[in-house]
Structure 1
Amino acid sequence: MEPVRYLALGDSYTIGTGATAPKRNFPSLLAGRLQGASGRPVAVQNPAVNGFTARDLIGTELPQVQQVPHLVSILIGANDVVHGSDDAAYRGALQTIYDFVARFRLHAGRVLTVAIPDFSVVPTAGDYGSPAALRARIDTFNQIAAGESQGHGFHFVDISDVSRSGIGRPDWIAGDGLHPGDAQYAAWADVIWSAVEADWMRVAKPKAPVH
């Protein structure tokens, strides 16, 4: 049985920095959900790199894509916030990424774009500016991503609220005081899976042709 090919583009949040094992990052959790529900193997290509901006993704991750995937997720922008990228630069980079993915001509619902989580509430947020300013930039970039995603016919999932929901839990933030812990990655996967389950299951278990 041919595996479902799932391409996960992004930065540390896609790698799962802060998780106790790679299998606990959100793409691996989604792949596990899909494989468990469909009985079809899922092959994940995850070229994400810690610290990457959207421009870094364009230069390093996109050239690694050699096969047309069945499913795609894109979560990028936290490091653009940290490095002070302006709205136009971020929008332009996203358009380049989204245009690249759009060339796969995947059906609606098969390309997932994920909001930047709200890292203004983590213990080390002050290292990157005032929490209020960080949250404002994150919200602005997420609005840009949502608009560009809609324009490309992609499925945008906002995880901002869930990323804030467990602050104070010992397993919510990793030991570095910045990245998510296992519980937060699992919560993201729950929210994302509920949004994409129907569309992604159609990929893994297509209807038999009517004779």
Structure 2
Amino acid sequence: MLFQFIAQLAALTLVLACNQSSPTLTKPIAGTSPMLTEPATTTATYSFLSLGDSYTIGESVDAADRWSVQLAGMLRQDNSNVMNPDIIARTGWTTAELQDAIKAANNTKTYDLVSLLIGVNNQYRGQSVDRYRTEFRNLLQTAIRFAGNRPARVVVLSIPDWGKSPYASGRNQEQIANEIDAFNTTAQEECDKAGISFVDITPLTRQAAGDASQFANDGLHYSGRQMKQWAEKARPTVEAMLKR
């Protein structure tokens, strides 16, 4: 019976392996592991997969404060029965590391809605925009496959500007902003080509400057209050997507 109970527990969680030897945007919390979360029990109609990095996994905040979890709740309030999302995300991941983790997860499910928010660690590590374009384009195709080959059911959020965070005090904020803009322009161009919705949340993250309530305790990642604004910004776009 003990072995059967352990096996049942193991089946509930999928742990993804990822090489974290290269520099990342932040130091991951000790014991942090990538995860594929199980959706909450609900009578929902629409399944949801959320892909990304620390901004998707909600580094330093409660699970309920993750932007995609908040979005699912808002959509249910609007009578769009969306399940809490499965999440494949980890602090520090670049586009390439997310793609590798997706392969390792071996998730063969399809979803009614797929979100993607990735790229800040590409910028932080000084990787080129050209490389990002190629890897991001491949991730879009992966997201489309997860959405049952329906580009109209994929939504991309822009990269937040971490240069406006308390953590970035003393850094070249103008350079960070310019680089983030270049990555976001590339992401939007690739989304337009693929017929995928793009939601620009970067201005919201810049407006958060100087307001400690908008940031998590680590001074870099965002609080549930800020991520709620991302969900609200994405809400009408996703509502329209689900009607297609």
- Residue 10 of structure 1 corresponds to 52
TM-fit CA distance, 1:5? 1.2
**Structure 1: gaps (5+ residues):** 204-211
CA 1:107/1:84 → structure 2, altered by over 3 Å: closer, same or farther?
closer
Contact preservation (8 Å) 1:7, 1:45: yes
Q: In structure 2, how many angstroms separate the alpha carbons of the residues matched to 1:9 and 1:36?
A: 23
Residue of 110, 131, 149 corresponding to 1:105: 149
Match of 1:76 among 109, 113, 118: 118
* Structure-2 residue corresponding to 1:88: 130
Provide the secondary structure at the position in 2 that maps to 1:199. Answer: helix
Match of 1:160 among 180, 188, 202: 202
2:89 counterpart residue number = 48
TM-score (norm 1): 0.87
CA shift digits 1:66-109 (9 cap, x unpaired): 2111101000001111111101110111011112223332152x
Residues 182-201 of structure 1: matches in 2 within 5 Å? 182-200=224-242
Distance 2:228 2:141 in 1: 29
CA distance in 2, matches of 1:106, 1:123: 39
- Going from structure 1 to structure 2, the CA distance change for 1:52 and 1:68 (only over 3 Å counts) comes to same
Give a deviation string over 1:1-26, Cα, whole Å, max 9, x none.
5642101000000011132x101111
* Percent of aligned pairs sharing the same letter: 30
Answer yes or no: is the 8 Å Cα contact 2:54–2:91 preserved in 1: yes
- State whether structure 2 residue 170 is matched by structure 1 residue 124: no
**Structure 2 equivalent of residue 145 of structure 1:** 187
Q: Which has the higher contact order (CA 8 A, sep 6+)?
A: 1
2:11 counterpart residue number: none
Q: Secondary structure at the match of 2:115?
A: strand
Indicate the RMSD between aligned Cα atoms, in angstroms. Answer: 1.8
CA contact (8 A) 1:171 1:182 kept: no
Which residue, out of 15, 18, 22, partners 2:63? Answer: 22
* Distance in 2, Cα, partners of 1:107 & 1:92: 18
**Structure 2: any 5+ residue segments left out of the alignment?**
1-42
Please state whether the residue corresponding to 2:209 is helix, strand or coil.
coil
Does residue 180 in structure 1 map to residue 222 in structure 2? yes
What SS class does the counterpart of residue 163 from structure 1 fall into?
Answer: helix
Q: How many residues align?
A: 199
Q: What code does the residue aligned with 2:144 have?
A: A
Q: Kindly provide the CA deviation profile for residues 31-63 of structure 1, in whole angstroms up to 9, marking residues without a partner as x.
A: 111222226351411011111000000000244
Say which SS state the counterpart of residue 198 (structure 2) adopts.
strand
1:110-132: CA deviations, max 9, x gaps?
Answer: 210110011111111257x5211
Distance 1:107 1:134, change over 3 A: closer
Matched-pair contact (CA < 8 Å) for 1:102–1:152: no
The letter for the 2-side match of 1:118 is: D
Secondary structure of the residue aligned to 2:179 is helix
Select which of 74, 77, 83 maps to 1:33. 74
**TM-score between the two structures when normalised by the length of structure 2:** 0.76
